[in-house]
Chains A and B, each alone.
Chain A
Amino acid sequence: MKIQTKTAIVFIVALAVSIFAGVFIYIAIIQTKENAAKSVIASGLSKEIFRRMNLLDEYLLYRTESSSAQWALRGRMIDGFLGEAEKIFNKSDEREILVSIEESNKIIKQTGEQLFANFSTEPDTAKFSRKVEMQLMDQLVIARSQMIDQVNQLEIVIRGKFAVLRQKLNMRVGMIVTLLFFIILADFTWIQKIIRKLAEKDAKEKAMLISIGDGMIAVDKDGRIIAMSEKTEKMIGWRFDEVKGKNLRDVVSVIDERGEIIAKEKLPMYLALTAGITTTTTYSYVRKDDTSFPVSMVVTPIFFEGKIIGAIDNFRDITKEKEIDRAKTEFVSLASHQLRTPLTAVSWYTEMILSGDVGQVVPGQKKYLEEIYYGNKRMIKLVDTLLDISRLELGTFKVNLKPTNIIALARYVLAEEKPKIEKKKLVFKENFGSDIPAFSTDPSLLRMVFQNLLDNAVEYTPEKGAIDLKVAFDSAKKNILITVSDNGYGIPQNQQDKIFTKSFRADNIRNYNTSGTGLGLYVVKTIIDQLGGKIWLKSEEGKGTEFYVSLPFK
């Protein structure tokens, strides 16, 4: 059951019991009040009756004047009580008794009046005979005892009822108290359980976060650190309690391969918190002691009800991977190097046989030897590319900046490409800016850029297609823009973002050329990154491709 449902049930039950108890108490108070009033009247009545009867005895003994007045007073008191009783006992069971009491009272009143009106204080001057007086007295005594009995009965009935009511009340109070006790007990245990569960959940989540085997830093919407795994502490050298609540940016600097600090706007964490973007990338983190280590990271925004409430940075130390990668690259470099000599030997010897240096070659042999020769050429080219890549990746290809005439360089590469362009009957157009001054760049690296882009344009454009090479200088932006365009096969839209990845080849061109390595554009991209430039493309399948390279003008 959901916690919300549970708490709602607890609340409703408690509310119902409270209302029930309130109503019960109200009724009890009313009933008690009524019974108390009844009992007061009944006992008052009986007292007054006794007092009145005492007056009678007093009269018989002393025959004083005041006795008559007193008798009248008591009579009025009793009438008063009876009037009150009339109101209270109006509809109750005691009504009957009250009526008989009233009747007795009437008789007593009449007889008493007769007695006191007609008998003087002096027995000798009495208008009635002693006998009549005695008769009246007898009547009074009988009525009196009758009335006393009736009042007593009333008292007994009321007291009895009161007792029953009290018993009932006691029972009900007991029941309610017990019920409330159980409800409170149940609620309490339930609440305890909920609290314990919440605490457990919280502890579990914390334990999970803290025990994650990778680096994990969680920040709130303002980029302040709210949690990190224990592994993170070891990796970055900061303890959680040292950096809790601090902005992540102030604690861990992010640097790129060249050791330059990444600008705030480019930080994956900034992108996650401001734009809700998830970034997967590799950078280096700076530790507390200012050393750094390479990381592979995924930074994900945390959404709650459509709002970004924070972000999580999951990262992994990739020092080992980098070392392995380097070892692999070194191996590729070494292997390629070793391959060059035998490849050259094959090339030269085949060439000498083909040119008839060691005797006439018959046409069948010539054809096969040419296959060997061109196969070998392809291998040489591949090995060269592999070497270039390994050197780029190892950084042994130091960028060697010198003033370079980019037009001359472009023409040099074009001259190399010319036979291929002519063979495919491609229409080539060049558009070189006339005002391009020499600028500082690495000519041998830039040559590779031209070579690869032009090679691709030639390779992936069908015969009689068109290729354009444009070089322009933007003096305002201080950059050189190279554009290589063709109307060839193009690159499928959904593969354009992968086109610069190592060994990637677009699906549509695999059929046209099986000897491609998928390394050319990777080389280009790596070189342009090293030269501090940018490369991007526009392409449509079946219509052609345009590559743009912008280089800083220095």
Chain B
Amino acid sequence: MYLSHLNDIIKYMENDKIILIVEDEKSLREALNDKLTREGFTVFEAKDGEEGLEMSRKVRPGLILLDLLMPKMSGTEMAKKLREEEWGKNVKIIILTNLTEEEKVKRELENSVYEYIIKNDVRIDQVVEKVKRILEC
């Protein structure tokens, strides 16, 4: 009901203004949502990979902020699945992660284009900057 209603709205929106945040940690998810909304983006949230995949099919975001360690479906798995779909091949992805997983991600997503943000290394306005830069090009 909620999703079908959304579809109508999204149809008329430029999708490079739509951002999907896939992050299991509520506080981080909401911080990003608030910040990006204030910056004028339309933001959607998903709390795990499964929901993220489903949501991205519906809302077709211009960019996905993707956490890695999540229940049900991990970020890497979701990214892989996304890249298999016709629509998902070229969607822009920023991986949100901790330093520890850097190597692992590189190995698992070697044929995929993505950007990389180490969460506790950056300020939130740096995330916004990066989002803007990526969406512009």
Contacts and interface: CB of A to CB of B under 8 A. Distances in A.
Contact of B100 (A343, A357, A380, A387): A387
A301 B20 CA distance: 70
A30 to B, nearest CB: 110
Contacts of A347: 120, 123-124
Listed residue (A337, A348, A349, A444) with the most chain B CB atoms within 10 angstroms of its CB: A348
Interface in B107-137: 119-120, 123-125
B103 interface: yes
A400 interface: yes
B99 A352 contact: no
A345 B31 contact: yes
A351 interface: yes
Contact of A337 (B25, B32, B100, B119): B100
If over half of A's interface residues share one DSSP class (helix, strand or loop), that class is named, otherwise mixed; here it is: helix
Contacts of B31: 345, 348-349, 352
A349 B25 CA distance: 14
A419 interface: no
A357 B35 contact: yes
Given A337-B98, A391-B100, A343 B34 contact: no
Interface residues of B, number: 18
A345 B25 contact: yes
B72 to A, nearest CB: 18
B13 interface: no
A340 B34 contact: no
A352 B35 contact: yes
Contacts of B123: 347-348, 351
Given A345-B27, A348-B35, A352-B31, 10 more contacts: A340-B119, A341-B25, A341-B28, A344-B119, A347-B123, A347-B124, A348-B31, A352-B34, A357-B34, A383-B120
A43 interface: no
A95 B119 CA distance: 137
Contacts of A341: 25, 27-28, 119
B5 interface: no
Given A344-B28, A355-B125, A380 B120 contact: yes
Interface in A388-430: 391, 400
Interface of B: 25, 27-28, 31-32, 34-35, 38, 98-100, 102-103, 119-120, 123-125
A391 B27 CA distance: 27
A233 interface: no
Contact of A340 (B27, B38, B102, B120): B120
B20 to A, nearest CB: 18
The 5 A-B pairs at the shortest CB distance, nearest first, are namely: A345-B27, A348-B124, A348-B31, A344-B120, A344-B119
A44 to B, nearest CB: 129
B38 A342 contact: no
A383 B118 CA distance: 14
B124 A384 contact: no
Contacts of B102: 444
Listed residue (B32, B102, B119, B125) with the most chain A CB atoms within 10 angstroms of its CB: B119
B19 to A, nearest CB: 16
Interface of A: 337, 340-345, 347-349, 351-352, 355, 357, 380, 383-384, 387, 391, 400, 444
7 contacts: A337-B100, A341-B25, A344-B28, A345-B28, A348-B28, A352-B34, A387-B100
A344 B124 CA distance: 9
A351 B126 CA distance: 11
A344 B121 CA distance: 8
Given A341-B25, A341-B28, A345-B31, A351 B125 contact: yes
A193 B31 CA distance: 90
Nearest to A387: B100
Given A337-B98, A337-B100, A351 B27 contact: no
A338 B4 CA distance: 37
A351 B120 CA distance: 12
Contacts of B103: 400
A342 B120 CA distance: 10
Contacts of B100: 337, 387, 391
Contacts of A357: 34-35, 38
Contact of A384 (B25, B28, B38, B99): B99
Contacts of A400: 103
B28 A340 contact: no
Contacts of A337: 98, 100
Nearest to A358: B34
B120 A343 contact: yes
Nearest to A355: B125
A380 B35 CA distance: 21
Contacts of A344: 28, 119-120
A513 B124 CA distance: 29
Contacts of B125: 351, 355
B24 to A, nearest CB: 9
A349 B124 CA distance: 9
Contacts of B38: 357
A241 B38 CA distance: 83
Nearest to B119: A344
Listed residue (B31, B38, B120, B124) with the most chain A CB atoms within 10 angstroms of its CB: B120
Contacts of B99: 384, 387
Nearest to A341: B25
B28 A352 contact: no
Nearest to A380: B120
Nearest to B103: A400
Contacts of A342: 27
Contacts of B98: 337, 340
Contacts of A351: 123-125
Contacts of A355: 125
A210 to B, nearest CB: 50
Contacts of A387: 99-100
A344 B99 CA distance: 13
